[in-house]
Structure 1
Amino acid sequence: MKRSLRRALWAGAVVAVTVAAVPVTTAFGAGTVTTTFTKAQDWGTGHETRVTVTNGSSAAISTWRIEFDLPSGTTISSAWDADITSSGNHYVAVKKSWAGGIAPGASFSWGYNGTGAYKAPLNCTINGAACGGGTTPPTTTPPTTTPPTTTPPTTPPPTTPPPTTPPPDTGGKKVVGYFAEWGVYGRNYHVKNIQTSGSAAKLTHILYAFGNTTGGRCSIGDSYADYEKAYTAADSVDGVADTWDQPLRGSFNQLRKLKLLNPHLKVIWSFGGWTWSGGFTQAAQNPAAFAESCYNLVEDPRWADVFDGIDVDWEYPNACGLTCDSSGPNAFKNVISALRSRFGSSALVTAAITADGSNGGKIDATDYAGAIGNLNWLMPMTYDYFGAFAAQGPTAPHSPLTSYTGIPQQGFNSDAAIQKLKSKGVPANKLLLGIGFYGRGWTGVTQATPGGSATGAAPGTYEAGIEDYKVLKNTCPATGTIAGTAYAKCGSNWWSYDTPSTINGKMTYAKNQGLGGAFFWELSGDTTNGELIGAIKGGLG
């Protein structure tokens, strides 16, 4: 059933809104301090704001305190790199204990996620002085502190984990997205694009795909992309270029930088996938040895702070994918148990699994429910049900939410998979609904509605029969929906894919079913302003 698509987004603009340039009091040095509120992202139901404090005075600032009001309909739901307190719509932000003073001419940035659309703060003061525009400063005197004898870095050191505040508006639901390591090549898609597109603020977890399993051991998938590639300042998450002698480069170092900018974000290293699942058969013969190899790799001192756990994408235990496995129904459960034992209770251990809900299908081949106690969540891959791997058709949506009259295979839909897993004892809140950020298509099609015949795969940018949503929304706009997803016929080509509207419907389903959230393959298929991930986030809110 499943033909795993493992593929890679560009960047959006940042709109800056300068709130004020304010005079500082004598206690904080002569000159001015500029406080700038920057609207980094706005997805309607929420937004991300970046705040920069720049010391334009002639003396170092040992502490700072910003007070401001937010207009009605806007609240702060999470913040990073500053301590926030509030009373009604009035907010106070003060320097973190680990953040040092700000030298003359230097800046410090912090940020917050807010509910509602972005609105510029009002009545801003910094260190007791008016932020400008004639606003009267408060009568309270800002606290004074003894300047430190040394100036610590303005960001926490890598050994100090940042606070783990989830992004807003998802009701505690998970928003999990894949980053494909090979995207740094032909697609020119890098970790920086997760930040500049606004996706980082909307994600709760990133799955880094993939590590290899050859020989029944966890191993590096692509050392150059993973930790050797040198990044220029222009392509780096924080605008700082790699040096030839630094101990860690590549996507791993970029992910480290991304996490510092987004303290709520967790990163999980995913192993296997369609191409590299063959090694799981040998792993199942000695789960403890497999788990030991995975732990040693994920927790390698060079990047141990980057990853928060491990994901298993075994396609498919006791069934056939690229190769066939006959390890038995307990193999998956045993491998997961060994991983949990080795990684411990605090690490994330997750798995992407089949979404074949047919009678006697791939879900029935493995004891997934028996493994759930050792997993944080399961991700049934509720996409790729149908496609031009059946070259003659019939045309059908590759990610139907429900069954429909004329569906080519009973049980090949999201709801069938979810209901089967729940009936076997998998808790709903440990299931995430899968979304594809791409379409599957045929050519040689004459019938506009699903069920038509075809002559082969429709042309695609990187692979025949597959195309990104960001392309299809313009080249072949959706003309109809069926079973909760969209389809379109353009000339002789017929495509099915999810749109923001159909994703919203799927998120309503996920909430109604009590699911733990949603995941998607993968980041590069979305538009530069993150339409699809915005729909996931907004729909789960």
Structure 2
Amino acid sequence: MRPEHSPDRRRARGLRRALIAVLTALALPLTAMVALASPAQAATASATYTKVSDWGTGFTGQWTITNTGSAPLPGWTVEWTFPEGTTAGTAWDARLTRDGNRYTATNPAWAGPLAPGQSASFGFNGTGSGSPSGCRVNGASCDGSDPQPEGPGAPGTPVAGSVTATSVELSWTPATGGTAIKNYDVLRNGTVVATTTRTGHTDTGLSAGTSYTYTVIARDTADRTGPASSPLTVRTPGDGGGPGADHINLGYFTEWGVYDRNYHVKNIVDSGSAEKITHINYAFGNVQGGECTMGDAYAATDRFYSAAESVDGTADSWDTGALRGNFNQLKKLKEKHPHIKVLWSFGGWTWSDGFGQAMQNPERFAKSCYDLVNDPRWAGVFDGIDLDWEYPNACGNTCDNSGPKVFGDMMRAFRTQFGDQLVTAAITADASEGGKIDAADYARGAQYSDYLLVMTYDFFGAWAAQGPTAPHSPLHAYNGIPQAGFHSDAAIQKLIALGVPPEKLALGIGFYGRGWTGVTQSAPGGTATGPAPGTYEQGIEDYKILKNRCPSTGTIAGTAYAHCGNQWWSYDTPQTVAGKMTYAKQQGLGGAFFWEFSGDTTGGELVTAIHNGLR
């Protein structure tokens, strides 16, 4: 079980509902259509403009592109001019750029070719009331009245040749179409890094142990560009030379933490933690309808960050298509600290419900996740994926009965799809007889994983309202432990005995405590009347609060506990974290991870304890 601090989620969802309500109200009354021209048979493609809604000071516009030819249309580019006073803003299902009053929209890289007669649409929000003019689609008039030679098509998908720790050799098959191909733009993580007349390029100056995504765009002698090639992701060899290169120090960053918790990517830098971590798992994406989906798109890609809030001291851009939100901040973080790898985590306690359905078609599931994680709109942000299914073939928020093979099947499908990108999974620490570890074949899944993150916390808590009080993250068993097999060492030893390589295991640390109220006994094992009050949820509180409000009064089984007034709490301190890191090294584990950044102090005490303990 991982705490999700449900009040934070409810507030985040409430904000999204409010935003949706405002947009719905704005988009109501007027629908008007402006058809620039009817398709002409001589044209390869036509484009038609529709004003979907108009609320006086603004509107929603939509372009529809139709393949009017007899062969597949590999891609499309629509250009038009708005009169003074009319502008286009946020767009969807297209990459939109602006030069003065002239706009250019290009199909996104994930969109496939259009078959003859097939159409595709994209939309945008605008201000003003004017209509477009001078429409061109793939260089020709949108009504086909003056057909021109089609612009260049997409080059072939790049192929990697020699790959070193600092360079990647690329080649691709030529693009066709256009008046003649003049050159190619090579894009690394969505940014042009070279322009060449050849069908190959060697990209240099890279970092070891880092994933890079490449696409190529052709330009013809009429200076028209075509659609981007399909992407290629390459990971350079090596460990990246970051802190604790022999061990990982991975932290979860919660998407909803930017609301009530007011915790942002910049806090990772300001606390000094960025120099001490190796990986960040961004939590969470959802699993719905058999596929990976976004969680909170506003927090992820659209929230505006001012210069003071931003990692690099530069405010976000309001330009159409500009990346904002957490994703842009993570991208800036990686530019300043290139040793950090970022993974997008899907699932968690609440959003694990969809895994069982998704695993009815593992290949489709993995492909949908790959396409989302590597979407060109946030190219360069993510180095892989983390799967947090709570729990395969067992019960968590809901129960799954997919069978013991399902975890291994999932990890194999994702390794096949993600190739040399990182693939990790957060897994149960229930080592009781017939418990959750016994329910799934974690050893088989480990073959396809970079790391398995063992959630060695939340063993005990105030869901047992009357107690007995017990530490939620004991490292070892102790006399009076309420449940056999509910401690970190039991989980680690069982997984190793099942055949999981210890170097693929990471020990979990909770940056929070769990507590009861109505407790008179200082030592563990006392009775209680219910969960202790917490800032966001009963029975749980951040370490940064507890260290001052209810300081530790003792230790047991390698972790701390505190009795203050009638409350009893258990949590890890820098001292107990140090002991757990010694254990991790003694067992030959791959390192440690923690849930989650915002529970630490402003000076990053617990991150520092993990970092120092693993050195």
TM-score for the superposition, normalised by structure 2: 0.62
Aligned 1:85-100 pairs, distance under 5 A = none
Distance of aligned partners of 1:352 and 1:6 in 2 relative to their CA distance in 1, 3 Å threshold: farther
Distance of aligned partners of 1:161 and 1:411 in 2 relative to their CA distance in 1, 3 Å threshold: closer
CA distance in 1 between partners of 2:488 and 2:277 (Å): 22
Q: CA deviation at 1:192?
A: 0.8
Aligned to 1:218: 292
CA distance in 1 between partners of 2:432 and 2:342 (Å): 32
- Listed one character per residue, the Cα deviations across residues 375-404 of structure 1 (whole Å, up to 9, x for unaligned) are 001011000000001111000000000000
Q: Does 1:485 align with 2:562?
A: no
Aligned to 2:463: 389
CA distance in 2 between partners of 1:380 and 1:5 (Å): 17
Aligned partner letter, 1:268: L
Match of 1:347 among 421, 424, 438: 421
Answer whether contact 2:269 2:311 (CA < 8 A) is retained. yes
CA distance in 2 between partners of 1:256 and 1:160 (Å): 17
Q: Does 1:288 align with 2:363?
A: yes
1:447 alignment partner, SS class: coil
Q: Does 1:254 align with 2:254?
A: no
Match of 2:402 among 327, 340, 343: 327
CA distance in 2 between partners of 1:300 and 1:222 (Å): 16
Q: CA deviation at 1:161?
A: 9.3
Q: CA deviation at 1:5?
A: 4.0
Aligned to 1:198: 272
Aligned 1:19-30 pairs, distance under 5 A = none
Answer whether contact 1:434 1:520 (CA < 8 A) is retained. yes
Aligned to 1:267: 342
Answer whether contact 1:164 1:263 (CA < 8 A) is retained. no
- Listed one character per residue, the Cα deviations across residues 435-478 of structure 1 (whole Å, up to 9, x for unaligned) are 00000000000000000000001011111110110110001110
Aligned partner letter, 1:203: I
Q: Does 1:452 align with 2:503?
A: no
Structure having greater relative contact order (Cα 8 Å, sep ≥ 6): 1
2:350 alignment partner, SS class: coil
Aligned to 1:371: 445
Answer whether contact 2:519 2:567 (CA < 8 A) is retained. yes
Q: CA deviation at 1:4?
A: 3.6
Over the aligned positions, Cα root-mean-square deviation in angstroms equals: 1.8
Aligned to 1:435: 509
Aligned to 1:239: 313
Q: CA deviation at 1:3?
A: 5.3
Q: Does 1:515 align with 2:589?
A: yes
Aligned to 1:360: 434
Q: Does 1:337 align with 2:426?
A: no
Answer whether contact 1:176 1:519 (CA < 8 A) is retained. yes
Distance of aligned partners of 1:267 and 1:171 in 2 relative to their CA distance in 1, 3 Å threshold: closer
Q: CA deviation at 1:335?
A: 1.2
Aligned partner letter, 2:345: S
Q: Does 1:380 align with 2:454?
A: yes
Q: CA deviation at 1:332?
A: 1.3
Aligned partner letter, 1:264: H
Distance of aligned partners of 1:3 and 1:429 in 2 relative to their CA distance in 1, 3 Å threshold: closer
1:374 alignment partner, SS class: coil
Aligned partner letter, 1:506: K
Answer whether contact 2:469 2:568 (CA < 8 A) is retained. yes
Aligned to 1:299: 374
Aligned to 1:309: 384
CA distance in 2 between partners of 1:464 and 1:325 (Å): 27
CA distance in 2 between partners of 1:203 and 1:306 (Å): 16
CA distance in 2 between partners of 1:160 and 1:243 (Å): 29
- Listed one character per residue, the Cα deviations across residues 54-95 of structure 1 (whole Å, up to 9, x for unaligned) are xxxxxxxxxxxxxxxxxxxxxxxxxx9xxxxxxxxxxxxxxx
Aligned to 1:531: 605
CA distance in 2 between partners of 1:4 and 1:324 (Å): 18
CA distance in 2 between partners of 1:209 and 1:332 (Å): 20
Distance of aligned partners of 1:164 and 1:424 in 2 relative to their CA distance in 1, 3 Å threshold: closer
CA distance in 1 between partners of 2:467 and 2:491 (Å): 23
1:488 alignment partner, SS class: strand
Aligned to 1:51: none
CA distance in 2 between partners of 1:481 and 1:230 (Å): 44
Aligned to 1:166: 241
Number of aligned residue pairs: 390
Aligned 1:8-157 pairs, distance under 5 A = none
Aligned partner letter, 2:606: L
TM-score for the superposition, normalised by structure 1: 0.70
Answer whether contact 1:311 1:351 (CA < 8 A) is retained. yes
Q: CA deviation at 1:303?
A: 1.1
Answer whether contact 2:5 2:537 (CA < 8 A) is retained. no
CA distance in 2 between partners of 1:161 and 1:471 (Å): 40
CA distance in 1 between partners of 2:479 and 2:235 (Å): 52
